[in-house]
Amino acid sequence: MTLTKAAPIRSSQAFKTSDFLRALAEVWAKRYSVSPEIHEYDHIFGHLVARLSTDDEMKIFEALKHYFENGAANAQQVRDLMTSLGLASDARVLEFANGYGRVTRHLKDLNFVACDIHPEAVSFCADVLGVKSIASASVPEDWKPEERFDFIFAISLWSHLPDGLFQRWLSSVCAALNPGGYLMFSTHGALAATVVPQLAEVIKDGQQYGYLDGSDQKDLDPSIYGSTIVLPPYVIKAIYGATKARIVSFKPAGWWSLQDEWIIQIP
């Protein structure tokens, strides 16, 4: 089969900027000593604005609070994880599917590279946040970074991959690790089914995998990105089918008390 390169994914505006938003972002950013800049295409921030509160100014306040606080907490969780794995302080780290830098901006002091499918996100993280950034791809086999990494983490990517890409992305991402390197990724599992009714609906009758077309990223085609729920037997089979990695740990609801955490290590 011949694989053809897909056109770059183009983003669209996720929220409207305002003087109030910019001023309040400065306050939150100063608290964490990070950049206050939020790209207008940042789908995560746009999703927060859309779902929090009903008053316009409260929406912005609550969205910014969550964006900066949760981004800092997730970054600390990554640091703690690296320490627990015994990774050196100069370990080469890749954040895969990092978006517009919600977590990225809190990790600039690491030996760090960011990677995303959106060209605008790659440019923003490089030019505004000052983090080396590389492009991902729609087709896993097209993604061939020029360097290898000691630790790759992907927060809430495999929780959105359809069956046809779940295993293929495991293979491609693990191929970007140095010998002995680690991959951490998160998935929607059994607990998510009790919290999100729509996910429970697609994993009935003993199924190990379910998929919904919708997601918070409206610009991504459902053939490559939606909302995925998987149980451990599916994930274990995918790991062993796609890689030579060993499973280091599995933590149910290890992220946000919702998504399961998987850590694997290649030989």
CA–CA gap between residue 198 and residue 156 (Å, rounded): 17
Which pLDDT belongs to residue 35? Answer: 98
With a cut of 50, list the residues of the chain below it in pLDDT: 1-8
User: Is 39 part of any domain?
Assistant: no
| Residue 159 falls inside a structural domain | yes
Residue 11: the pLDDT is 62
* pLDDT recorded at residue 1: 30
Total of domains in the chain: 1
Domain assignment present for residue 248? The answer is: yes
Residue 96 lies in a domain: no
pTM for this entry = 0.93
Tokens for 243, please give them.
């890689």
In a domain, 48, yes or no: no
Question: Looking at residue 215, what is its pLDDT?
Answer: 83
Is 178 domain-assigned? yes
- Residue 40 has phi, psi (to 5 degrees) of -65, -15
pLDDT for the residue 144: 96
Per-residue pLDDT, 4: 35
Q: What is the pLDDT of residues 166-189, one digit of tens each?
A: 999 999 999 999 999 999 999 999
> Which residues are registered as beta bridge partners of 111?
92
- Specify the pLDDT at position 158: 98
Q: What is the pLDDT of residue 6?
A: 44
Tell me, yes or no, whether 222 lies in a domain. Answer: yes
Alpha carbon distance 52, 59 (integer Å):
5
Provide the domain limits for residue 224: 137-265
- Domain annotation covers residue 93: no
